[in-house]
A and B are shown apart, each in its own frame.
Chain A
Amino acid sequence: MKRLISLTLLLSIFLTACGASSAPTPASAAEAPTLAPTEAPPTATPEPEPQTLTVFAAASLTDAFIEIGAAFDAANPGVTTTFNFGGSQTLRTQIEEGAPVDVFASANAKEMDTLVTDNFVTADIAQVFLTNKLVVILPADNPAALEKLEDLANPGIKLVLAAEEVPVGKYSRQAFDLMDASFGTGFKDKVLANVVSNEDNVKQVVAKVQLGEADAGIVYTSDAIAAPDLKTIEIPADLNVIAKYPIAPLVNSENTELAAQFIEYVLSAEGQSVLAKWGFAPIK
């Protein structure tokens, strides 16, 4: 007991010395020295009404939207744009389950259309703001010595794709259908037999290839640009699938004006040039 008391005292003294703003919970009221309540720091003079804009965006948009968000915040004092990046299908489910969101940017029309059907987004309000296409990525040292697209069918290579539920995973499989017709039937089956994991979003595919766990992965061109340490194999236009990204404000948004401003900014010359920088094909 004696030790406990001295420990408590010691702790209290230590905390007082540190100028802790909150009083420690004393083990016994009598023993602990009372701490004078510290003055609250003077609050800064209020700036323009602080506003928060919440944007849910496809994982592939991560780098570009962080940059656009910073520029948008700088141009609009008092505004803080926060992002939630993830597979578009995850974001769509979160929105349906009541996540408070102002703007949704999807990597495919399907998730946006579902939200329109379920009255989370007004019909015909969504606008395509960029396109993206697929590319094969390889670790820098290319452990499986892949040279061309056909090599994806080499038996035993470790291929990582996004899951079929993820837009880029769906597009990858559509591209395999096109390749199947071009390289001979059985190509798609051989490639799919090489899949060792169906990742939850496109950035996970990039990560597995960067770590060298996978011999190859299929992602968007923009993801390959965001990871310059990786090798790539281009997919020719006739075998590629063009992803169209729609953006829209949410019906339940409490910042409709700000949401419209953000979308306008994404579609503006500045916004589009940032997107182009990160490897997307701008619309304008």
Chain B
Amino acid sequence: MTNSRKLFSRFFGEGYSKWIFLLPSLILLAFFALPIIALAYRSIAPDFFENALSQQSFQALKLSLVTSSITTLIAVALGTPLAYLLARWKFRFKAWLELILDLPIVLPPSVAGLALLIAFGRRGLFGAFLNDIGISIPFTTTAVIMAQMFVAAPLYVRSARIGFAHIDKQLEESAYVEGANQWQLFYEVMIPIAIRALASGAILTWTRALGEFGATILFAGNLEGVTQTMPIAIYIGFERNLGVAMALSVVLILVSVILLLITKQLDKEEE
């Protein structure tokens, strides 16, 4: 390794070697930054606020914020115990459980939407039963939340699991010595220590839920005020009025940036 490095610097000199890192980095960064800049640049028009504040975009933003918040709350409520269990318990088939949880992260959302429809649609495996007792999920706001849960909640579980796993085993033992029970250990020791990992996981889930599109349009459809979230309004708006689509996109980018800045801050405090 050292030999080849010497050989390399003899040919190119130390000054050039920096560019080996800088050039690819700059290309990749430009690739990410340019579309965002182009979008912001083209959306600056006299009718920007009219577009961004229209009835349709307001309804879509409200629906997106409400559904993604509910998704995040459910993910935290159900995901925290699951993450804890995955991080601290030893049991068989754990690797398989983790695989099931990772699958939604890598699956295309269209697959998620189709799977949800086949499972919970009116003719679905479980949907048929639900339909018999008078519950119909597709085309409802519940469907929007379920689609978001499916693709976004695993991000929270993953982050929380890593947070819990990093906690020193000895701490757990000394808590037991002090006479703490399972719940006290979890609630009074583990949660406070892992809180930043939990918070940043929750925000990741929130941003992902906010941006969910593919599963939602397949499973929940598109109806203003009921299932038309921001990303769907952008997609439909793109066809009617590019101005509306761009204004909505900029609003969504701003919301996402704010959420990501909060995550960054949390990560920094951790260090």
Interface residues of A (CB under 8 A from B): 87, 89-90, 93, 143, 158, 160, 163, 165-166, 195-200, 208, 211-213
Query: Is B217 part of the contact surface with A, judged by Cβ < 8 Å?
Result: yes
CA distance A40 to B19 in the complex (A): 34
CB atoms of A196 and B242 under 8 A apart: no
CA distance A245 to B227 in the complex (A): 31
CB atoms of B222 and A197 under 8 A apart: yes
CB atoms of A163 and B139 under 8 A apart: no
CB atoms of A165 and B236 under 8 A apart: yes
CA distance A89 to B117 in the complex (A): 27
What is the CB-to-nearest-CB distance from A154 to chain B, in angstroms, rounded to a whole number?
Answer: 16
Contacting residues of chain B (173-225) with chain A, CB-CB under 8 angstroms: 217, 220-224
CB atoms of A163 and B138 under 8 A apart: no
Q: Chain B residue with minimal CB distance to A90? A: B239
In addition to A143-B122, A197-B220, A197-B227, 17 A-B residue pairs with Cβ atoms within 8 Å of each other are A89-B239, A89-B240, A93-B238, A163-B222, A165-B239, A196-B139, A197-B139, A197-B221, A198-B222, A198-B236, A200-B217, A200-B236, A212-B123, A213-B121, A213-B122, A213-B123, A213-B139
Query: Is B235 part of the contact surface with A, judged by Cβ < 8 Å?
Result: yes
CB atoms of A196 and B239 under 8 A apart: no
Chain A residues with CB under 8 A of B220:
197
What is the CB-to-nearest-CB distance from B152 to chain A, in angstroms, rounded to a whole number?
Answer: 22
CB atoms of A163 and B236 under 8 A apart: yes
| Given known A196-B139, A196-B223, contact A211–B217 (CB-CB < 8 A) | no
CA distance A89 to B235 in the complex (A): 11
| Given known A163-B222, A196-B139, contact A213–B117 (CB-CB < 8 A) | yes
| Given known A158-B139, A163-B222, A198-B222, contact A211–B240 (CB-CB < 8 A) | no
Q: Chain A residue with minimal CB distance to B118? A: A211
CA distance A208 to B138 in the complex (A): 10
Chain B residues with CB under 8 A of A87:
239
| Given known A163-B222, A196-B223, A197-B221, contact A213–B138 (CB-CB < 8 A) | yes
Interface string of B215-254 (1 = CB under 8 A from A): 0010011111001000000011011101000000000000
Q: Chain A residue with minimal CB distance to B242? A: A93
Chain B residues with CB under 8 A of A212:
121-123
CB atoms of A165 and B139 under 8 A apart: no
Chain A residues with CB under 8 A of B138:
196, 213
Q: Chain B residue with minimal CB distance to A207? A: B218
Q: Chain A residue with minimal CB distance to B139? A: A196
Chain A residues with CB under 8 A of B242:
93
CA distance A211 to B137 in the complex (A): 14
Q: Chain A residue with minimal CB distance to B236? A: A163
